[in-house]
Amino acid sequence: MIKAGIVGATGYAGGELVRLLLAHPQVKIVWYGSKSYIEKPYAEVYQNMFKLVPDICRDDNLKEMAGQVDVIFTATPQGFLASLLDEELLHKVKIVDLSADFRIKDVATYEKWYGIKHKAAQFLEEAVYGLPEVNREKVKQARLIANPGCYPTCSFLSIYPLAKAGMIDLSTLIIDAKSGTSGAGRGAKVNNLYCEVNENIKAYGVASHRHTPEIEEQLGYAAAEKVILNFTPHLVPMNRGILITAYASLKKKADGSLPALAEIRQIYETCYEQEYFVRFLPEGSCPQTRWVEGSNFVDVNVQVDGRTGRVIMMGAMDNLVKGAAGQAVQNMNLMFDLEETMGLKLVPMFP
């Protein structure tokens, strides 16, 4: 059995990790870390865990935890892991970090967008960006995983096939994103109160959302070119889910014509035919958050607008599963040479 410790186990992503790992046949959670609830029974924080988790919440002492577990999940704010990580810790234990500390390779970019100084830049080169659909073999060999952000996961997987194939002008790329309120975390914030969110939809982080450079960097690797794009997220009054609608101009073929929808669909089919967690939908079917809720699936589809010469790329997923905890478990499975889908064959919940 793999012994796991979770730092930030009482946040939304941490709570989802607990839910998934409790059902995992090869994992035992031995450390429920939560700085806010030390010594409090975990089941009092999340009553859905009553009679399922008898443990109490413990502190975030990574050094002590590393002596008792095989893998540590850090579902923590930016800067936490980077402030504590050293070679001694990585020598003892594998780490899956759900924060942004090791996602962006350029230190200056990270510090600019997140507004904090990076305290463990020496591990950036080693850290593997944990998107199994593109970095599967690297994940298998890793001891430090930078679990991707929720918006970047859905955005990237919706756009990746055409970016990799060189079919779109990435300088024209615009991403419209919408997320449920759990993406903002469990902390008390006025803007996330019921009366502020209910019966409302709003853009936020316009031209400044910190997931922007992560999306640009990963698409840049796929397309082998520098990418600068517009990314605008919106908050919608639902608990879970992300919906991405991305637009870009298609590159014309040698004869001056646009690629046909059938040709573009074949690129997606080929790219994702072996990927269990990416479901490429039938022609004309638009991804919806309700059909992926509670699962590790990403539903994607594409449409061509011949009138404007643009392609519309769409994706939907659960921000707490594939966008956080589920992807973290998927990475853990690969790191420990387990079946990648183990513990994650979750049927989407409806209604």
Class of domain 2-126: alpha beta
**For 341-348, what is the mean pLDDT?**
98
Complete edge-to-edge strand list for the sheet that includes strand 202-203: 202-203, 230-235, 168-179, 242-250, 310-317, 298-305, 278-280
**For 237-249, what is the mean pLDDT?**
97
CA–CA dist 351, 349 (Å, integer): 6
pLDDT tier at 302 (50, 70, 90 boundaries)? very high
**For 148-158, what is the mean pLDDT?**
98
The pLDDT of residue 186 is 82
Name the residue with tokens 């669909």: 265
**Distant-in-sequence, close-in-space partners of 46: CB < 8 Å, separation ≥ 6:** 10, 15, 18, 53
The pLDDT of residue 346 is 96
Structural domain boundaries in the chain:
2-126, 151-319
The pLDDT of residue 184 is 83
**For 138-162, what is the mean pLDDT?**
98
Q: Is 150 a catalytic residue?
A: yes
Is the bond preceding 259 in cis, omega lying within 30 degrees of 0? no
**For 78-91, what is the mean pLDDT?**
97
The residue from 57, 150, 154, 271 that is catalytic is 150
DSSP string, 236-297: -SSSS-EEEEEEEEEPP-TTSPPPPHHHHHHHHHHHHTT-TTEEEPPTTPPP-GGGTTTSS-
**For 286-295, what is the mean pLDDT?**
98
**For 98-104, what is the mean pLDDT?**
98
The pLDDT of residue 87 is 97
Residue-wise pLDDT tens digits, 210-239: 999 999 999 999 999 999 999 999 999 999
Whether 293 has a pLDDT exceeding 80, the answer reads: yes
pLDDT tier at 111 (50, 70, 90 boundaries)? very high
pLDDT tier at 178 (50, 70, 90 boundaries)? very high
The pLDDT of residue 78 is 96
Closest CA to 279 of 262, 258, 296: 296
Whether 188 has a pLDDT exceeding 80, the answer reads: no
Whether 105 has a pLDDT exceeding 80, the answer reads: yes
Specify the CATH superfamily of domain 151-319.
Dihydrodipicolinate Reductase; domain 2 (3.30.360.10)
CA–CA dist 37, 342 (Å, integer): 30
The pLDDT of residue 231 is 98
Predicted TM-score (pTM) of the model is 0.96
